[in-house]
Structures are given as structure tokens and as C-alpha cells.
Amino acid sequence: MPLTAKRRAGLTWRTLLPWVVGALPVIGGLAVMNWQIEREMQASSQATTRQVVAHVERILDNLASAADALLPLAGSPCQQAKLRLRAEVTRNAFVRSTNLVRHNTLYCSSLFGDFDEPVNAGDYADGKLWLMDGNSVTPGHPLLVYRVSKGDQGAISTVDGEHLLTALRLIGPDEVLQLRVGNAWLGKDGIVRQGQPPAAAKANVQFGSTRYPFSVQGGYGSDRQGQLWRSHYPALFGLLLVLGTVSALVCRWQIRRITSPRAELRRALEADEFLPYFQPVVRKGDYRWAGAEVLMRWNHPQEGLVRPDLFIPYAEHSGQIVAMTRALMTHTAQSLAPYVGLLDDGFHIGINITADHCRDFSLLDDCRTFLQHFPPGRVVLTLELTERKLIEATPVTLELFEKLDAMGVKIALDDFGTGQSSLNYLRQFKVDYLKIDQSFVAMIGGDALSVHILDTIIELSAKLGLGIVAEGVETEAQRDYLARHHVDYQQGYLYARPMPAAAFLEALAAHASASRLPQAAPPEIMRG
């Protein structure tokens, strides 16, 4: 229901809110899913890294078992010991070679028998473990060496780096995994590097063995999160989009419902925002105020004073016009009743009524209640029926109009001449007054044909014995013309604009004692 002629620019909460409500489940769902993925990556990275640690420990148990068994032989001649060295290689699945050390020299090897190579205890983490990038037998091929010593004698066992790589690659095919021993580390590419291994982009974890001096660092590359999104959640993401769309639509429907013209009018009715404005009707001759038309105004909290043609059509369409008219009549009666002394006897109060109000007899009660506010005969209630929305002549309406007539309520045919069934109306219902539409009054001073139409309406009403009211009188020329043609009543800005009750009563008091030619009233301030 547009209450102003101007369209409001920019975004309003009504357009923004459905978007926000629609986006919330999508954003919330994505955040939860992302959190879930990160948790999943963290848990699986921890589990994988622990498994690798356990597997490398099992390999080292093999190496330790071989080296421990050989330690008592350290120092004995290689010829005697070498068969035992080879036996340990055969017995332990992961052991590639075994060696004996004396005076910091590797003097006996399972591969070559007698040997001569210096051993530096400082190469070994905790004196026990050394990750090598190769030796003289297999240069450039990773090798993990285990050492036990007693005094200056010791035993050394080695495992091929291939076993370590297999563990890294098979246990965590999707993870970034690195085995770290001392200052050296081995990645899945099989190259031993020195220094700190780089942290994984996602879910980086590190576990150290409690039994051997090594640790395993695990985690995921930066693309893993995207892969999981693509593989796990397309269906759920689709569901979120559907949920978001449904939420937005429900929100938009709710907003439309609560801000619909019907809801807005109901709210305004409950908040008592519909007010009566009064426009005097003057009689011919002395131009005394013989009555007033009650015109509805909506005192809207945001829009200010709203003129009726912007909301009456919605009120008629939604069936709320009857309740609104009833409230207006109550307001009118309460405003005027305390000042009834200012009103001439038989002062006409014109109320605009729609066809919907004439469907049953409730209108009778409304009129009776209205009249009860005033001493009998002091006020004449006139119902103004527009011929734009027709009342059907049913048994109920005919009886209603008879009863209204018996009660002394008068009927005025509003906007006379603008509809097509004016004459039908006059035949079917007992009408007391005709209100000549302002478009005809505006023709005064115009071309001969237009003025002829006005003259014909005036003559017709005289012949039918009806009172006649001319609306929309704005100029003295119109006033004088209508006076010359014996029009009974005049109404228009020339006399007064519609005004609120307080101003009307004040003006009424000023006019009550004397009849005089009127001055134009100050303009009515209104939106629209």
C-alpha cells in the first residue's frame, strides 16, 4: 500500500532481511562443515603419525635385538664373529647389515667381513640412531643405523631406508609425513635432508618415540581441505542452498504478511490512527454552516497525515472499511458531543459509507449509537453513498434504507453524475440529497456545453424534489453562479478546507453567532 506518491530509494530492511536470513543457514552450515573437516584432518593426521611412530619402533626393535645380541662379540676377531653377524641379518627381517666396533672403528661387517671405517659417536642421536643419506655400499640411498656400545666396543645394525619410505607412503598416502632423527629428516621423496622439516600446511602434528630418539611429523598439504570439500560435501552443500532459499522465501512471505496492507490497516485501527477531519457545508442565502462532511485521515506514525484515496481502496478491498467507519463515527460523536451547543438545530453530519456497510443491519446500530450521543433533533446524520461502488437493491438493503429513513437518517448520493447508474439509484432508494461532483462545479466559467450539463443536474434535482449540495467550490464566481441557480448547499476550499476536530470546533464557535461571507481557510497539511 504506497502511502506516498514518491518511491523510496535504496535498500530497506524488507529487501535486505530475506537475504540475511537466507545467507545465515548457508554461512552457518559452511562454518560447521569446515570445522568438521578440520577436526577430521586433525584426528586422522594424529592417528597416522602415531601409526608411523609405532611401525618405526617395530623396525628399530629388530635392529636393537640384533645389535644387543652381537654386543658381547665386539672385540673378538672378525673371522670368528662374521657368521654370527650374518645369522642376525637373516634372523631379523628388517636388518640389512650388522657390524662390530672396536676403538671407534668399524672392524667387522656382515657384508664384507674385515673392514676398517672410523665411527663417530657424535653422528648418532643420543649415541644410538643415525639417519644417513647413504654409505659406501649404497650411496645416495637412505639408511637408518642403530648403535649399542659398551666402553669403546659396540655393535651396529642398519635398516634400508626403503622400509621407512614404505611405512611413510603406505600408512599415510594422503599425508605429508617426515621421519626426524637428530638434525636429519627423511621425507616421502626418499631424500635425507639436514635441519628442521617444514611444518605441514594443515593439521600439523609431531610425535616422538618414547623408546628411541626419533620423531615423526605429519599433516596435510594446503589442497587437502578443498579435496575433502569436493569429495564429502557436495550433497550437503546443495541441501544448505535449498535450506537458505527456503528460509529466505519464508522470511519474505512473513514480511509481506506482517507488512501487508491488511495487517498494516489492522494495526492502525488498533492504534486508533484514523481521525475525523471536518469540512463545513454552507447553506444558500446566509452562508451559515449548516453541516459538515466527515473525511477520514490516517495519522500514520512514519508517513504523517495520509489522505484517504491512498488507503480507502485497500480498506474496502480487505473488508476493513466497515470497522474503520465505525471507529470514525465513534470518534466524531465523542469529539462533537461535548460542544453540541455550538451546532445549529438539525446540523448535518455527513459520513461516507461504502456498499459493504449496507449488507446487513449493523449499520442501523452504528447510526443509532452515533445519534445517542446528541440530544434528539440536534444533529441530522447523513450517509454519503458513492455511486462508484454500487449498492444492490436486495430485500435486506431496501429494508435497511426504510429503517434508516424511519430513524431520521438522510441519504446523500455522492459524486453525482460520475457513475453510470445515478438514475437507477434514485429510482430504487429513497435519496434525500444529491452531491454534485466537483468536476461539474469546476466547469463553471467554462464552455457552454459543460455548463449546460451542470444546469441539467441542478434542474433534475429540483424536479425530483431533492436537496442539492455542490462540492469543490473554490472561487467566488462558482459560489455566485451556484447561488443564482438556487443550489441549497455549497462545500469547498472557498469556505474551509477539511480540518481536525479542535480547529473545526474553534471555527464553528466563531461562525456560530453570525452568518457572513466566508474567508478561505488556511491550507490543510497532508502527505500524498
Which residue number, 119 or 358, has a Cβ lying nearer to ligand C2E? 358
**Judged by CB under 6 A, which of 5, 7, 139, 309 binds ligand C2E?**
309
* 480 close to 444: Cβ distance less than 8 angstroms: no
* 408 DSSP assignment: T
**What is the smallest separation between the CB atom of 415 and Ca ion, expressed in angstroms?**
4
Helix, strand and coil percent figures for the chain, each rounded to 5: 45, 25, 30
189 binds ligand C2E (CB under 6 A): no
Q: Which region among 24-32, 222-230, 273-281, 469-477 touches Ca ion (by CB under 5 A)?
A: 469-477
Site string for ligand C2E, 343-362 (x = CB under 6 A): ---------x-x--------
Residue 141, phi then psi, degrees to nearest 5: -120, 120
* 269 close to 300: Cβ distance less than 8 angstroms: no
**Judged by CB under 6 A, which of 325, 332, 335, 461 binds ligand C2E?**
325
Residue 225: name the closest of 42, 27, 29 by CA: 42
366 binds ligand C2E (CB under 6 A): no
CA distance 393 to 385: 14
* 32 DSSP assignment: H
Question: CA dist 412 to 234, 316, 470, Å?
Answer: 70, 20, 12
Kindly identify the residues of this chain, within the stretch 232-291, that bind ligand C2E according to CB under 6 A. 279
Residue 495, phi then psi, degrees to nearest 5: -95, -50
332 binds ligand C2E (CB under 6 A): no
Residue 470: name the closest of 506, 502, 447, 438 by CA: 438
**What is the smallest separation between the CB atom of 448 and ligand C2E, expressed in angstroms?**
23
Which residue number, 69 or 295, has a Cβ lying nearer to ligand C2E? 295
- The binder of 492, among Ca ion, ligand C2E, none, by C-beta within 5 to 8 A per type, is ligand C2E
DSSP bridge partners of 353: 385
Question: CA dist 78 to 81, 109, 387, 491, Å?
Answer: 5, 8, 129, 135
296 binds ligand C2E (CB under 6 A): yes
**Judged by CB under 6 A, which of 127, 493, 506, 512 binds ligand C2E?**
493
Written as nine digits, the cell of 358 is: 449496507
- The binder of 312, among ligand C2E, Ca ion, none, by C-beta within 5 to 8 A per type, is ligand C2E
DSSP three-state, residue 145: strand
429 C-beta neighbours (distance < 10 Å), count: 20
Kindly identify the residues of this chain, within the stretch 340-359, that bind Ca ion according to CB under 5 A. 352
**Judged by CB under 6 A, which of 492, 501, 504, 507 binds ligand C2E?**
492
384 binds Ca ion (CB under 5 A): yes
Kindly identify the residues of this chain, within the stretch 21-40, that bind ligand C2E according to CB under 6 A. none
What residues make contact with ligand C2E under the rule CB under 6 A?
A: 279, 295-296, 307-309, 312, 321, 325, 328, 352, 354, 384, 386, 414-415, 438, 471-474, 491-493, 498
What residues make contact with Ca ion under the rule CB under 5 A?
A: 352, 384, 414-415, 471
